[in-house]
Chain A
Amino acid sequence: MTDVSYQQTAQTGEASLGDYFALMKPRVMQLVVFTALVGLLAAPIAVHPVVAFASILFVAIGAGASGALNMWWDADIDGVMNRTAKRPIPAGKVTPDEAKVLGFALSGMSVMMLALAANLLAAFLLAFTIFFYIVIYSMWLKRSTPQNIVIGGAAGAFPPVIGWVIATGSMAIEPWLMFALIFMWTPPHFWALALFMKADYHNAGVPMLTVTHGRTSTRKHILIYTVPLVILAVGTGFTSIGGPVYLATALVLNAMFLKGAYDIWRRDEAQAEADGYAVEKSFFKLSLWYLFLHFGAILAEALLPAAWGIWA
């Protein structure tokens, strides 16, 4: 893209529909939709399919809106980091003002529509999640403390709670177990990414643990945070959302995850440089499967009794 076309695009605001969609962080929306759906289906009260579909759609739109607001606020650092330099705003496809307007409009719309489709408590939780992600995480924590993703991870952990509340209209302990699973999973997941993204966060001035405490300390933190995660994930198998399928899945995945965290802790930078951060990259990849399969197992535990009822 030439400078001339960049200016034309930026000034006339002639972005394509796909550019606006990219603002909404579709990959994050996938995770939100999946975990919210698991929360909804694991709840003890059945929801009409149309209500369930509409509610999950509005949760996804709310998540996408917060993604657009995050890109508006972080446009300056997104342009500096290799991983995010191609996002619509730093690439000059969408103006920051457009992202801001889209984000605020969709936030308001999604919260109001969720209140109408499901209930007020679910809508309040969605509004709080958007507020937490934008104000607490993006505006405050991200640029001020290495605990940014530890506390900010709560924003990504709310969707299963919202899903549960859509179905029941009230709170229970089970959705908070799902919340805790995502919350505890977030730090090791992002710290592994920070280890092999190398200078990205440093260049952008984001105080990730790798920047403020060094890489050796980050390796230790990954192992330290993985231990309570493993206890929580396996322990959930003995609650009402767990069961034999979940427990078997959790035992295998957590053994692998603990081994990965131990391997990361044992290595130093010279070893990691030598093999191109192979262990850190495979741990990051495993972390994606880890979360997906845990929630898949919770979903299986929720759906299998009904399926057995049909086969019997």
Chain B
Amino acid sequence: MSIKAEHEIHQRRKGRNVGVGLMLAAFVVLILALTFVKITGGDFELPRVEETQ
């Protein structure tokens, strides 16, 4: 039986790492989108001091 450089376990590990990487990237995009919606949606509006002057 020959020794294979690429064992089935390596493929499984690679698949898992790629999957976790993609999920983390998607999470970053989601947080970015959520932050954008929150700060443009009026939740974090600062008081308009200049209008009173």
Contact = CB atoms under 8 A, between A and B. Distances in A.
Interface residues of A, number: 12
B25 to A, nearest CB: 15
B37 A17 contact: no
Given A54-B30, A57-B30, A16 B37 contact: no
A17 B33 contact: no
A54 B30 CA distance: 7
Interface in A107-136: 116-117
Chain B, interface size: which category? 10 to 19
B37 A50 contact: yes
Contacts of A57: 30
A54 B37 CA distance: 11
Interface in B4-22: 9, 12-13, 15-16, 19-20
A57 B29 CA distance: 14
A230 B51 CA distance: 60
Contact of A48 (B9, B13, B30, B37): B37
Interface secondary structure of A, over-half rule: helix
A54 B15 CA distance: 25
Contacts of B19: 17
| Interface-central residue, A15, A50, A116, by most chain B CB under 10 Å | A50
A76 interface: no
A117 B12 contact: no
Contacts, number: 28
Given A54-B30, A57-B30, A14 B37 contact: no
- Among A14, A15, A17, A116, find the residue whose CB has the most chain B CB atoms closer than 10 A: A17
Given A17-B15, A17-B16, A12 B34 contact: no
B41 interface: yes
Contacts of B41: 48
Interface in A11-54: 12, 14-17, 48, 50-51, 54
A14 B15 CA distance: 11
Given A48-B37, A51-B37, A16 B15 contact: yes
B34 A51 contact: yes
A2 to B, nearest CB: 14
Contacts of B16: 15-17
Nearest to A55: B34
A50 B12 CA distance: 33
B28 to A, nearest CB: 13
24 contacts: A12-B9, A14-B9, A14-B12, A14-B13, A15-B12, A15-B16, A16-B12, A16-B16, A17-B16, A17-B19, A17-B20, A48-B37, A50-B33, A50-B34, A50-B36, A50-B37, A51-B34, A51-B37, A51-B38, A54-B30, A54-B33, A54-B34, A57-B30, A116-B34
3 closest A-B pairs (Cβ-Cβ)?
Answer: A17-B19, A50-B37, A17-B16
Given A50-B34, A54-B30, A117-B34, 16 more contacts: A14-B9, A15-B12, A15-B16, A16-B15, A17-B16, A17-B19, A48-B37, A48-B41, A50-B36, A50-B37, A51-B34, A51-B37, A51-B38, A54-B34, A57-B30, A116-B34
